[in-house]
C-alpha cells in the first residue's frame, strides 16, 4: 500500500499558511482499481462534480482522461460548461434539465440526465425542432425520492415507450441510497426496482453503481460504473480497511507556540481550561478553510493533528483562521514548522468521523487558501 504524498514546504510557498498536495498518480491508480473490477464488460465513468470533490476538476479530469475515462458526470450545468473547456469527452449533468437551459445543453454538447417526464418531453421537443436525436440519460428513482422518474412516471413510460422516441438514450440509471452500508436491504431492493424499470428497454445501456455500489456486487456493474468518492481516496467499503490509495494530503503551518498555566483557558468562549501547565501551538487553519468548527474540542470527542507522527489534540474552539493544539508532550516544537492535518496518520474519513460528518464533506470543503500542489 502506498502512503500519502509527502510534502515539504519550500521557499516557493513561503507565503502559504497550509499546503494541499494532491497525488494524481494515486487518483489514476484508484480509477484503475475500478477498471480492473469492471473487467471488459462495463466501462468506468468519473464523477467529478463539486470541483472534483474539492481536489480541482481540471487536474482530476486530466488524470482520469489519461487513464481512458470515457464519460464524466457533474452536478450542475455551470460545472459542465466549465468542464466542456477541458475535455471533449461526453459530460452528463446529474441535476438535470430545467426550463430555459435546453439551448445551452445543445450548443455545448452536454448530456442532460432527464429526471422527469416533463424533462423528457422538453428534450424530445428540442430534438424534434432540430431534427436530431439528442443524447440523454434517463434517471429512475428507485427509493431515494430525490431525483428521477418515480413509480407513476415509470409506469407511464412503460405504457407509451414513444415518450423517448427521437432521443438517443445513452443510459438508463438510478442511484443507491445505502450502498456504503454493507448488507443494507435497500440496496438489493433498488437493484430489483431498477431491473424492473429498465426491463422494457433491453437495448438501452444501464448504469447503477456509485463507488460503494461497485464494491458490493458485480451484479450492480451493468454497462457503466459511476464512482466518485473512492477515486479521491475515501473508503467505499467502510467495514473493511480502505482499498483505495490516499490522494489528498494537508499540512498547516504553526504560527506560534506558547506556555500556558493550569487554570487558564484557550480560544473563543473559553471553552477549554487547562488542568496543568502545558504548551499551546496555534496552527494557521480554521473554518474559513473548511476546517470544520465541529472539530472544536468537547467532552468525549477530541480531534487530533499530527506533529512528526505524534498526535496533538485540538483544544478549544476552531476559529476562522486558527486552531489550537496541546503540545505539552512534544519536547521541541517551534513556530514555522508544520503539522499534518490529513496524511499518513489521519485520512479524510478519520477526520470526518472526528467532525461528526463524512469524508465527502471534508474534501468538498477544502479551502481556497491552501497552496495546492499536484504530483
d(CA 101, CA 110): 11
Q: Which residue has the cell 519550500?
A: 10
Q: Which residue has the cell 435497500?
A: 186
Q: Which is nearer to ligand PLP, 163 or 177 (CB)?
A: 177
The least distance separating ligand PLP from the CB of residue 50, rounded to whole angstroms, comes to 8
Strands, E assignment, the chain: 18-22, 43-44, 46-47, 72-74, 91-93, 111-114, 135-139, 168-173, 206-207, 224-225, 248-260, 265-266, 272-273, 278-283, 304-307, 310-313, 323-326, 338-342, 371-374
From 9, 57, 2, 1, select the one nearest 250 (Cα to Cα).
9
Is residue 92 a contact point for ligand PLP (CB under 6 A)? no
d(CA 277, CA 260): 6
d(CA 12, CA 214): 41
368 is an active site residue: no
Q: Which is nearer to ligand PLP, 144 or 255 (CB)?
A: 144
Residue from 229, 248, 315, 351 binding ligand PLP (CB under 6 A): 229
The least distance separating ligand PLP from the CB of residue 351, rounded to whole angstroms, comes to 17
Alpha-helix residue ranges (DSSP H) falling in 323-365: 348-355, 359-364
268 is an active site residue: yes
d(CA 163, CA 296): 54
Nearest position to ligand PLP, beta carbon: 228
d(CA 149, CA 102): 19
The catalytic position among 151, 165, 262, 268 is 268
The least distance separating ligand PLP from the CB of residue 97, rounded to whole angstroms, comes to 15
The least distance separating ligand PLP from the CB of residue 99, rounded to whole angstroms, comes to 21
Q: Which is nearer to ligand PLP, 330 or 358 (CB)?
A: 358
The catalytic position among 49, 105, 206, 306 is 49
The residues in 199-228 that bind ligand PLP, with binding defined as CB under 6 A, are 210-212, 226-228
The least distance separating ligand PLP from the CB of residue 229, rounded to whole angstroms, comes to 3
Write each residue from 170 to 199 as x if it is in contact with ligand PLP (CB under 6 A), else as -, in one continuous string. -----x------------------------
The least distance separating ligand PLP from the CB of residue 175, rounded to whole angstroms, comes to 4
From 219, 223, 253, select the one nearest 18 (Cα to Cα).
253
The residues in 3-62 that bind ligand PLP, with binding defined as CB under 6 A, are 47
Residue from 48, 94, 119, 178 binding ligand PLP (CB under 6 A): 94
d(CA 178, CA 202): 26
| Catalytic sites, residue numbers | 49, 268
The residue ranges that bind ligand PLP (CB under 6 A) are: 47, 94, 175, 210-212, 226-229
Amino acid at each position: 500500500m502506498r502512503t500519502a504524498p509527502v510534502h515539504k514546504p519550500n521557499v516557493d510557498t513561503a507565503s502559504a499558511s497550509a499546503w494541499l498536495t494532491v497525488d494524481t498518480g494515486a487518483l489514476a491508480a484508484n480509477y484503475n482499481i475500478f477498471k480492473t473490477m469492471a473487467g471488459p464488460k462495463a466501462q468506468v465513468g468519473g464523477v467529478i462534480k463539486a470541483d472534483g470533490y474539492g481536489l480541482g476538476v481540471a487536474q482530476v479530469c486530466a488524470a482520469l482522461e489519461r487513464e481512458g475515462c470515457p464519460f464524466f458526470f457533474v452536478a450542475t450545468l455551470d460545472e459542465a460548461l466549465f468542464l466542456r473547456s477541458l475535455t471533449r469527452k461526453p459530460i452528463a449533468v446529474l441535476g438535470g434539465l430545467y426550463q430555459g437551459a435546453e439551448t445551452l445543453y445543445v450548443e455545448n454538447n452536454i448530456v442532460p440526465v432527464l429526471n422527469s417526464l416533463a424533462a423528457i418531453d422538453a428534450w424530445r421537443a428540442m430534438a424534434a425542432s432540430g431534427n436530431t436525436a439528442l443524447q440523454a440519460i434517463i434517471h429512475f428513482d428507485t427509493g431515494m425520492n430525490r431525483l428521477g422518474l418515480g413509480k407513476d412516471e415509470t409506469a407511464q413510460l412503460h405504457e407509451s415507450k414513444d415518450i423517448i422516441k427521437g432521443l438517443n438514450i445513452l443510459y438508463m440509471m438510478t442511484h443507491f441510497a445505502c450502498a456504503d452500508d454493507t448488507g443494507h436491504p435497500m440496496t438489493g431492493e433498488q437493484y430489483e426496482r431498477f431491473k424492473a424499470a429498465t426491463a422494457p428497454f433491453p437495448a438501452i445501456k444501464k448504469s447503477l453503481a456509485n463507488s460503494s455500489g461497485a464494491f458490493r456486487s458485480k451484479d450492480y456493474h451493468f454497462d457503466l460504473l459511476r464512482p466518485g468518492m473512492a477515486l479521491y481516496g475515501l473508503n467505499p467499503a467502510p467495514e473493511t480497511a480502505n482499498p483505495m490509495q490516499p490522494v489528498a494530503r494537508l499540512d498547516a503551518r504553526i504560527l506560534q507556540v506558547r506556555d500556558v498555566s493550569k487554570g487558564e483557558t484557550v480560544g473563543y468562549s473559553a471553552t477549554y481550561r487547562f488542568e496543568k501547565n502545558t504548551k499551546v501551538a496555534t496552527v494557521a487553519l480554521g473554518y474559513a478553510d473548511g476546517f470544520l468548527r465541529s472539530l472544536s474540542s468537547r467532552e468525549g470527542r477530541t480531534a487530533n493533528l499530527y506533529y512528526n507522527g505524534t498526535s496533538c489534540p485540538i483544544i478549544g474552539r476552531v476559529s476562522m483562521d486558527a486552531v489550537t493544539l496541546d503540545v505539552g508532550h512534544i519536547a521541541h516544537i517551534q513556530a514555522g514548522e508544520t503539522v499534518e492535518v490529513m496524511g499518513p496518520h489521519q485520512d479524510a474519513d478519520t477526520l470526518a468521523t472526528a467532525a461528526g460528518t463524512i469524508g465527502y464533506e471534508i474534501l468538498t470543503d477544502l479551502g481556497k487558501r491552501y497552496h495546492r500542489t499536484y504530483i
